[in-house]
Every structure is written in structure tokens, then in C-alpha cells.
Structure 1
Amino acid sequence: MGIRYYAYAFDRDQTDEVLANPRNYISSDPFADAWGMEPHAYVGIATMEQTTPERDMAYLDKAWSYLQRLSGPTAEKGPRPAYRMFEGAVTFTGMGWDPYVHALTPAEVAEIAPDVAAMVSEIESGGLQTVGDPDKLYVEQYLRRAGEFVSCLASEGRGMAYLIG
């Protein structure tokens, strides 16, 4: 299965509640939301169509780790603003892992959105190097999706809660 990334939007008036408990604003079965399956079904057919509207959810599959590295700190400088959208790591346990859950306020999303858009532009112009050729299109696809999502949230004054797990 692997560790995947799911983000859910919330409205500005919910910010305090989401910051207090971001897990309450993430679906109980985000994988089903992303793959078009019946939630909590043991057997089913995936439609491969996200069931939650795209303005309300972003699914970045396993590309989050690449995006985390692209936006994270380097030896020369600190992390980009976009890093806040991808930061975090699961906590491994004897039975698997506990997910990382975090929330970003509408103000934080407004700061992140232009940087994700800049990363998309940098990749398109060749200024930002992704991973090896087999993964390049995969990473670029999900970076574009992340950019669309946070751009929409920023324009609507919304925040987001995300889960890596």
C-alpha cells in the first residue's frame, strides 16, 4: 500500500476547531475517497475517480515525499514556504505506522500557494530538478495538483488539514 498524502479543505470559520483537532476534519477512509471506493469496504471496485470534490480534497499519492524533498531545506538555505504543505513523517510502530496529521490556516495557505505555483513554473522551465526520469512525470503531475488545490483554497480564503499515512 505505502504511505500516501491526503488533504482536506476547511472554511475559515472552522480554523480554531481544526487546529485543535485536525484529524476530525479528515475522512475516516481517505483512500476510498481518493480512489472512488465505498468507505471501509473489505472488497469492492475502485472507480479511480475521486469521490470528494477536487476543491475539497487533494490526493498526492506517494509523491509527497518527493515534494517534501524538493521544497525542504538544503545545505544552502532553509525550506521554501511550500514545505509547510508537505512536511511531516509517519511514526513507525511494531504494527505499521501512525499517520502524521497537521492543519494549515487560511493565512498559511495564502503564503504557500504562490510558492507552489513558483515550483510548478520552475519545473516547467527546467530550473527545479525533480527525481530520475521514470519518476519525473509522476512528481510533476502531483506538484501541479498540489498547486491547483492550494491556489483554489487561497482564492476562497480556506485552510487545509492533511494526513500523511
Structure 2
Amino acid sequence: MFEIQPMDAQTYRQQTRRSTLIIALTFVALAMVLSTAAVAMFGEPGGDNLRFNIGGVFAAVLLMAALMRKVFWTQEWMAPAVYSWQLKRSLMSVTNVMHHVTAAVEAGDPTAMKLLRFYHLGLNQMHQLDGNSSDHGQLAREMEQHKVRMEALGLDTEQTQLDPVWLEAVKR
């Protein structure tokens, strides 16, 4: 179950820039070392060694994928980027069934209403974290209208957790 966590947007952007820089520098270093090693081991002096350079870069891509999954993902300096990825995945899981959600909300289904509230809160946070204010006005109006409707029905508006059961219930 994913839960929206409070996060300062400025700190988030600073930390994700740092983690991006670390990953990029690691990839560049790996690509250079592996390409150089491939050319040294298999290449010809003065010959066309492009395929060995490309092979080194490809090996660096594979190694970086393994490092991301096994090492970097659990590091403290990656926590904001991991959180962002999980938030976006959660939002996408709701987006994928949004036609069901909107129909169920119109029918007054409390589960769908909770799901839509989570979606609004998560999307709002993602916009804040990414510094995307272009659609904020429209989202704020939709959020407020939906919140008022939930309050009128006596539903809790603090839906910071995404329960996967809600997604399945709305699909039916």
C-alpha cells in the first residue's frame, strides 16, 4: 500500500538533482572504463574499434541497470527519487482505470470517491514536487469540488493511502 508522504519541494528537487548527477557520473565512468577495456582486449591498434566502444557502452547500460536495482535503489540519497517513482506508478495505476473511477464517482460509489481523492492529492503533490504549476488552477478547482462532495457524504477527505483493493473494486 503506497502512502503519500509530506515532502518539501525545494529539498526534493535538490536531492533528486544530486542523485541524478551521481547516477550520470557513474554511468559515464563505467562506459569509459568498459569501452576502453573492450578496445584494449579485443581491438586493433589504429583499426576500426567502434563496435568495441559500443559494446562497452552497452555493457555499462546493463551494469547500471543491475546497480540501480541491487545497490542504488536502497540508498538514502536515492529515497526522494524512489518515492517519486512510486508516487508516479501509483498515480498511473489510477489513471489506467480512470474511466471506471469517474463513472463510479458519478454513481456515488464511496470507494471510487476515495480513490479519486487519493489521485487528486497525489497529483497535486507531484505537481508541487516537479514545480509544475501550469495545470494547478484546474486541479485545485476539481479537488475542492470533489472534497465538498465527499464531506457532504461524510467521507474522510484525507486519503493519503492507495489501497490496491480499491482499484479492483472500481474495475468491477
TM over 0.5: no
Whichever structure has more strand as a proportion of its residues is 1
Normalised TM-score (structure 1): 0.29
Structure label with greater radius of gyration: 2
- Work out which structure has the larger RCO, using CA pairs closer than 8 Å and 6 or more positions apart in sequence: 1
Tell me which protein shows more helix as a share of its residues. 2
Task: Report the TM-score when normalising by structure 2.
Answer: 0.28
